[in-house]
C-alpha cells in the first residue's frame, strides 16, 4: 500500500530585506524540491504606476496560484518565499485594512495544519532596492509578524544570524 504524505509548506516570513528569497532558494536546493518566488516582485515590476490597495489582493491571489501549481511537483516540502501572511500585514500596515479573501485564506491555511513558518530576524543589514520601502520600521514590522503568528497559533521558528547560520538553523529545524 502506498501512503501519501502531504507536502509541508515552509513559509518564510518577516519584514523586507531579511533574507527570505535567499534562504527559500537554498532550502529548495538542499531538499531537492520546489520554491515559490515572491509574486509581488514580478507584479509590481510590471506596473506602470504605484501599487494600490486592490493590487495587494491581486498579489495575494497570484502568490496562492503559484503555490498551488508548484506544490503539485514538490517533494516533502514546498518553500515559499513569502506567503499570504505578508500580504495581510502589508495591507494593514499601508492601508489600515485588509481584504476578506486574504484573511479567509490565512484561516484556511491554519485549518489544514500543513504550514510551518520560518520568521526571519532583522539582524542582517537592510539592502535597498526599488521595491523596498521601510528600512526604519523593521522592528515594528517584525513584532507584527511575531504577534500575528502567535495569534494564529502557527508553528514557527525564528531564524537569525549570518546567511550560513540561517541556512544551518533552518535545515536543523526541518530535519529535527
The domains located in the chain, with CATH, are 8-175 (3.40.50.300)
Q: Residue 1 pLDDT > 50, yes or no?
A: no
Band of residue 3 on the pLDDT scale cut at 50, 70, 90: very low
In whole angstroms, give the CA distance from residue 155 to residue 90.
21
Q: Residue 123 pLDDT > 90, yes or no?
A: yes
In whole angstroms, give the CA distance from residue 81 to residue 20.
6
Task: Give the distance, in angstroms, between the CA of residue 61 and the centroid of all CA atoms in the same chain.
Answer: 14
Among left, alpha and beta (phi > 0; psi -120 to 50; other), residue 54 is alpha
Band of residue 125 on the pLDDT scale cut at 50, 70, 90: confident
Which pLDDT score is estimated for 167? 97
Mean pLDDT of the chain: 90
Q: What pTM, to 2 d.p., does this model score?
A: 0.90
Query: What is the grid cell recorded at 52?
Result: 494600490
Band of residue 170 on the pLDDT scale cut at 50, 70, 90: very high
CA angle 99, 100, 103 (to 5 degrees): 95
In whole angstroms, give the CA distance from residue 98 to residue 76.
32
pLDDT digits (tens, 9 = 90+) for 18-75: 999 999 999 999 999 999 999 998 898 898 888 999 999 999 999 999 999 999 999 9
Of the two residues 17 and 52, the one the predictor is more confident about is 52
Share of the chain above pLDDT 70, in %: 91
Amino acid at each position: 500500500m502506498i501512503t501519501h504524505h502531504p507536502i509541508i509548506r515552509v513559509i518564510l516570513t518577516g519584514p523586507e530585506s531579511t533574507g527570505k528569497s535567499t534562504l527559500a532558494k537554498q532550502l529548495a536546493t538542499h531538499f531537492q524540491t520546489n520554491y515559490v518566488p515572491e509574486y509581488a516582485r514580478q507584479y509590481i515590476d510590471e506596473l506602470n504606476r504605484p501599487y494600490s490597495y486592490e493590487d495587494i489582493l491581486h498579489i495575494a491571489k497570484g502568490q496562492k496560484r503559484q503555490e498551488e501549481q508548484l506544490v503539485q511537483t514538490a517533494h516533502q516540502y514546498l518553500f515559499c518565499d513569502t506567503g499570504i501572511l505578508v500580504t495581510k500585514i502589508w495591507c494593514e500596515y499601508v492601508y489600515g485594512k485588509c481584504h476578506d479573501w486574504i484573511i479567509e485564506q490565512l484561516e484556511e491555511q491554519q485549518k489544514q495544519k500543513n504550514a510551518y513558518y520560518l520568521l526571519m530576524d532583522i539582524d542582517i543589514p537592510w539592502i535597498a532596492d526599488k521595491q523596498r520601502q521601510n528600512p526604519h520600521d523593521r522592528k515594528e514590522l517584525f513584532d507584527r509578524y511575531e504577534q500575528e503568528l502567535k495569534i494564529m497559533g502557527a508553528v514557527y521558528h525564528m531564524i537569525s544570524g549570518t546567511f550560513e547560520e540561517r541556512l544551518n538553523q533552518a535545515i536543523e529545524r526541518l530535519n529535527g
